[in-house]
Structure formats: structure tokens, C-alpha cells
């Protein structure tokens, strides 16, 4: 296998180095392309373009493989805690028991959110979408933790991991007309979140271990996914030396889009529509195939997974387990399974390699845990936070240059200014 690629055009031959990753992925390094040829490449949506070399997450879309720092998603989802996985992603190794205890303690020491942040929060209307609120509050942290309070990158990493779950629950409590809860440092990370979400001042709240374990698994499954839209956004914003908070806030905004993390909310709304329409899945499969319908089978398809999304497989099994353990019978689960079955036997989906992705079943579990639909993408953000942080940290540690793509101009060529009196 050669370690360079040859390009021949305009009667000249050019050679560019080929780099090979640890999983034998290959890339043509075109860093000198424009200097040597005057040409650039163009690749709408970056479907064939690598932005960086990363040691954090490996995924193989053809084989349905996903590993965080070499550990399989299947093992981590089964055996690890979410904070262990956060440590692994951010610092590169699974923590020893001492490192884990110190990490957990550091986070617990920073769970309280500055009371002035609540004043910002109170300005939002009761029906404000929680993703817009969350990105605004995370961005506001860059205004609070500045100057002598700025702190090190590691301190800001701890602050974000510690405070984002607290702030995430505020929107839900406001939507219910309930008082917000303060974090309870006697609880583990997932139980603390659930307590802040559902505890009421009128009685002690017992976290159901089934619910906490299900949340732990879901957060792990969402923790990182190499250079997806929101992670690429975090890296690009961070490449200008913008703060970690500003970069993560930008990632939250990218994630909110319905083609990305917002899909988990869209899936449940789609399944509810199908249920309200008598459960006629064939009608919706036909609509998804009809380009003029404007309808997409949300939770299906993936830019990279062209076989199956390993996370979707784990979540589908977890949905059965959790709903039966909680004694929840959700008719949309059966509709989802019927849709999946129909699509996987339909040439349109098979030909385009469209399979259920991470968002297809996750909302069914979130709903069974009592989490409202408009909070589903917030849950995705809480899970993805350590991945965003790890990727931002790697980009900074590697001293990557500011991201600034080129373009091919297709607009008007040079022309003279015309006075308004003479314009037609
Ligand atoms: C996430 O990148 C990541 O890793 C993301 C993520 C992560 O962990 O960060 O995995 C999380 O964002 C998962 C994806 C959630 N989004 C959805 O479920 C929305 C529905 N899916 C799609 O819109 C779409 O599949 C994307 C956005 C996920 C991927 O889009 P691509 O790779 O740009 O593919 P495409 O839109 O060009 O589609 C290729 C073909 C097209 O048909 P043709 O033009 O070839 O005839 O497949 C069709 C599309 O019309 N198609 C679908 C479809 N998805 C693609 N048709 C019907 N229903 C769908 N869901």
C-alpha cells in the first residue's frame, strides 16, 4: 500500500502523503494542495473530508463499531458509570479508584450554580425551549468565570460537568410551576439529576435504581461520537481561542437541530402522530419514500453508520428491559418496532442503507423515566458534554490552527457601482 497519492492534471503530476490511523483508516494529506496546484477541494457536508486526527473515539460505520479510547460501547454501557466514561474520554484512561473518587469529589464541590444565573434564567418565558435556555446559560458562564475567577481549563471542565445538569432541570421545574431543587451531594451523578428533576419540597424523593441505571446507560451511549455536527462546531469555535463555555454553548445550539440531536424529540412526536393516525405505519413508510411529502422517518439514517448504529441496538433492548421493569406499557414502542421492521424490509431504505440511529428508541426510555419530550435533546446534551469537552481539550492540546475553510466563488464578477437614480 503506497504512502502517497498521485494527482495528475494540467499536464503535471503531484504527490501528496497518505496517512494511516491506528485502525488502518487512510487519508490523503492535502495541506500543500493549494500552494502546489492552486486548486482546493470541495466536499459539501464534509462527507469525505477529515477535519483532524483524533485519539478519542473510533467508529466503523460499515461494521457498526463504536469505541471510546479503545473500549467498546457495549462493554462501557454494561459495566461503567457515566462519570467513569467522562473521565476516560477527557483524560484518556479509565480512572483508578483514587482518581475516580477525586474526580467525583471535585464535581460535587462545584454543583451549586451562582445565584445570579437564576436571574438570567427567570427572564425566560415559561414555554422557552430548554435547549435555547441551556445554551444561553452555558454561554453566560463565560461571563461569570472570567478575569480572576477564570480558573484553569481543568477547573472549567469540572464546573461544566457539575453545573450543567443542575441548570438543565430548571426549565422543567419552571414548566411545572415547581420550585427548582438544589443539588444533593450525597447522591451519585445520575441520581442527583433525577432528584433535581422530580423531587418536591412536600415529601422525600426516592430515586428508583432502575431509572438511575437506565439514565446512566443512556448518558454513556451519547457521550461522544467523533466529528459529528455539534462536536465539529465545538472544535471550530474553540479553535479561535473562544472559551470552553462559548464553545460548548455553540455545540448545544448545533445539537438542537432536528437533523441532529433534535431528532430524538422529533421521533416521539412522529410516533405519536402515527399512533393518532391509527398506527398506519405503511402510510408513513410511503411518505418517507416520497420526496414531495417533506416527511422523513426521524431517527432513521446516519451519515456514517451504513449498517446499524450499535447504540440503537443497545437502546432498543434497554427500552424493553426498562419498560417491563417499570411496568410501563407504551404503545409507541410497538409502533417503533413495526416501523423498523417495515423499513428494514423495504428496498428504498435498504438501498440507501438507512437504519435506526441512536435517536430512534431513546425517547421511549426517556418518556418512561418521566422526562418530558422537550427535554429529550437536553438529555442528549448532558450525555454528550464529556465528549465535547474531550474533543475541545484535544484540539487545544494539539495546538490546531484556527479553522477557516476555503470556498469556490460563484457570485457576480467585478462590476461598477450604479447611482440609485440610474438603477432599473
Ligand atoms: C445524530 O453524525 C453523528 O454522529 C450524529 C449522531 C451523534 O451521535 O452525534 O449520531 C446523532 O444526529 C443521529 C441522526 C439523527 N437525525 C435523524 O434521525 C434525522 C433523520 N435522518 C436524516 O435526516 C439523515 O439520515 C441524516 C441527517 C442523519 C444523515 O443525512 P445524510 O448523510 O446527509 O444523508 P442524506 O440526507 O443525503 O440522505 C441520503 C438519502 C437521500 O435520498 P436520495 O436523495 O439518495 O434519494 O437517504 C434519504 C435521503 O432523502 N434519507 C431518508 C432519511 N434519511 C436519509 N429518507 C427518509 N427518511 C430518512 N430518515
Rounded-to-integer distance, Cα 351 and Cα 310, Å? 20
Question: Of the candidates 280, 223, 230, which has an alpha carbon nearest to the alpha carbon of residue 257?
Answer: 230
Check for a shared fold between 4-50 and 262-369: no
Domain edges within the chain: 4-50, 72-258+391-398, 262-369
CA of residue 325 to ligand 1 center, whole Å? 32
In this predicted structure, the answer to whether residue 1 has a pLDDT above a threshold of 70 is no
Q: Which of 1-5, 45-49, 87-91, 219-223 has the lowest mean pLDDT?
A: 1-5
Rounded-to-integer distance, Cα 48 and Cα 71, Å: 26
State the virtual CA torsion across 299, 304, 310, 311 in degrees, nearest 10. Answer: -50
Whether residue 30 has pLDDT greater than 90: yes
- Among candidates 413, 392, 306, 319, which has minimal Cα distance to 349? 306
Q: pLDDT over 90 for what percent of the chain?
A: 96
The domain 4-50 is classified under which CATH number: 2.30.30, 2.60.40, 3.90.70, 2.20.28? Answer: 2.20.28
Which cell goes with 200?
A: 418536591
pLDDT in tens, 56-101: 999 999 999 999 999 999 999 999 999 999 999 999 999 999 999 9
Question: The cell 469540572 sits on which residue?
Answer: 158
> Which CATH code for domain 262-369?
1.10.230.10
Q: Which phi and psi (to 5°) does residue 365 adopt?
A: -75, -45
Non-local CB neighbours of 267 within 8 Å, separated by 6+ positions: 298, 299, 336, 359, 360, 362, 363
Q: How far is CA 267 from CA 79, 127, 173, 259, 376, in A?
A: 28, 20, 24, 11, 10
Q: pLDDT tens, 155-197? A: 999 999 999 999 999 999 999 999 999 999 999 999 999 999 9
C-alpha cell at position 203: 415529601
Closest CA to 144 of 128, 160, 161: 160
Asked if residue 301 has its Cβ within 6 Å of ligand 1, the reply is yes
What is the arithmetic mean of pLDDT over 131-139? 98
Using the atom order of ligand 1, give the atom closest to the CA of residue 267: 18
Is the CB of 246 within 6 Å of ligand 1?
no
How remote is the C-alpha of 313 from its chain's centroid? 18
Type and span of the H or E element at 365: helix 358-368
Select from 90, 62, 60 the least CA-distant residue to 72: 60
C-alpha cell at 357: 440511529
65 bridge partner residues:
60
Print the SS3 string covering 249-309: HHHHHHHCCCCCCCHHHHHHHHHHHHHHCCCCHHHHHHHHHCHHHCCCCCCECCCCCCCCC
H-run or E-run covering 19:
strand 12-20
Q: What is the mean pLDDT of the chain?
A: 96
Please give the Cα distance from 147 to 285 (Å, whole number): 55
How many angstroms is it from 114 CA to the middle of ligand 1?
39
In the predicted structure, residue 2 carries a pLDDT above the cut 80: no
**Are 67 and 58 within 8 A, CB to CB?**
yes
The mean-pLDDT minimum among 144-148, 246-250, 359-363 falls in 144-148
Look at phi and psi of residue 45 and say left if phi exceeds 0, alpha if psi is from -120 to 50, else beta. left
Q: Order of strands, edge to edge, in the sheet holding 26-28? A: 4-9, 12-20, 26-28
pLDDT tens per residue across span 100-124: 999 999 999 999 999 999 999 999 9
- Whether residue 213 is predicted with pLDDT greater than 80 in this model: the reply is yes
388 CA from centroid of ligand 1 (Å): 21
Give the span between the Cα atoms of 388 and 217, in whole angstroms: 18
Query: Looking at domain 72-258+391-398, does it have CATH number 1.10.580.10?
Result: yes
Residue 359 a catalytic site member: yes
Asked if residue 192 has its Cβ within 6 Å of ligand 1, the reply is no
Query: Structure pTM?
Result: 0.96
Amino acid at each position: 500500500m503506497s504512502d502517497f497519492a498521485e494527482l495528475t492534471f494540467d499536464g503535471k503530476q503531484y504527490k501528496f502523503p497518505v496517512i494511516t490511523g491506528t485502525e488502518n483508516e487512510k487519508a490523503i494529506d492535502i495541506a500543500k494542495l493549494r500552494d502546489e496546484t492552486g486548486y482546493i477541494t470541495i466536499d459539501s457536508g464534509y462527507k469525505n473530508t477529515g477535519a483532524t486526527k483524533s485519539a478519542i473515539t473510533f467508529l466503523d460505520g460499515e461494521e457498526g463499531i463504536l469505541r471510546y479510547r479503545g473500549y467498546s460501547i457495549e462493554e462501557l454501557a454494561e459495566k461503567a458509570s457515566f462519570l467513569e466514561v467522562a473521565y476516560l474520554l477527557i483524560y484518556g484512561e479509565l480512572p483508578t479508584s483514587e482518581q475516580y473518587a477525586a474526580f467525583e469529589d471535585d464535581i460535587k464541590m462545584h454543583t451549586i450554580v451562582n445565584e445570579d444565573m437564576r436571574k438570567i434564567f427567570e427572564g425566560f418565558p415559561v414555554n422557552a425551549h430548554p435547549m435555547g435556555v441551556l445554551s444561553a446559560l452555558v454561554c453566560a458562564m463565560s461571563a461569570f468565570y472570567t478575569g480572576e475567577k477564570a480558573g484553569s481549563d481543568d477547573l472549567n471542565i469540572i464546573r461544566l460537568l457539575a453545573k450543567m445538569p443542575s441548570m438543565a432541570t430548571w426549565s422543567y421545574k419552571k414548566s411545572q410551576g415547581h420550585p427548582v431543587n438544589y443539588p444533593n451531594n450525597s447522591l451519585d451523578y445520575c441520581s442527583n439529576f433525577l432528584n433535581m428533576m422530580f423531587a418536591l419540597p412536600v415529601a422525600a424523593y426516592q430515586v428508583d435504581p432502575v431509572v438511575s441505571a437506565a439514565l446512566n446507560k443512556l448518558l454513556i451511549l451519547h457521550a461522544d461520537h467523533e466529528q459529528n455536527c455539534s462536536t465539529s462546531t465545538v472544535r471550530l469555535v474553540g479553535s479561535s481561542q473562544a472559551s470552553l463555555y462559548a464553545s460548548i454553548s455553540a455545540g448545544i445550539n448545533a445539537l438542537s437541530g432536528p437533523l441532529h440531536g433534535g431528532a430524538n424529540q422529533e421521533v416521539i412526536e412522529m410516533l405519536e402522530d402515527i399512533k393518532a393516525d391509527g398506527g398506519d405505519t405503511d402510510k408513513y413508510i410511503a411518505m418517507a419514500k416520497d420526496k414531495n411529502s417533506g416527511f422523513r422517518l426521524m431517527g432513521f439514517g446516519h451519515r456514517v453508520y451504513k449498517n446499524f448504529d450499535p447504540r440503537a441496538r443497545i437502546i432498543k433492548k434497554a427500552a424493553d428491559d426498562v419498560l417491563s421493569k417499570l411496568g410501563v406499557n407504551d404503545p409507541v414502542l410497538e409502533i417503533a418496532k413495526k416501523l423498523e421492521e417495515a423499513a428494514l424490509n423495504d428496498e428504498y431504505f435498504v438501498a440507501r442503507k438507512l437504519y435506526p440511529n441512536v435517536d430512534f428508541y431513546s425517547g421511549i426510555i426517556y418518556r418512561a423515566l418521566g422526562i418530558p419530550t422537550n427535554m429529550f435533546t437536553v438529555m442528549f446534551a448532558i450525555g454528550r458534554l464529556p465528549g465535547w469537552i474531550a474533543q475541545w481539550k484535544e484540539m487545544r492540546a494539539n495546538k490546531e490552527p484556527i479553522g477557516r475553510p476555503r470556498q469556490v466563488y460563484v457570485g457576480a464578477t467585478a462590476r461598477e457601482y450604479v447611482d440609485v437614480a440610474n438603477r432599473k
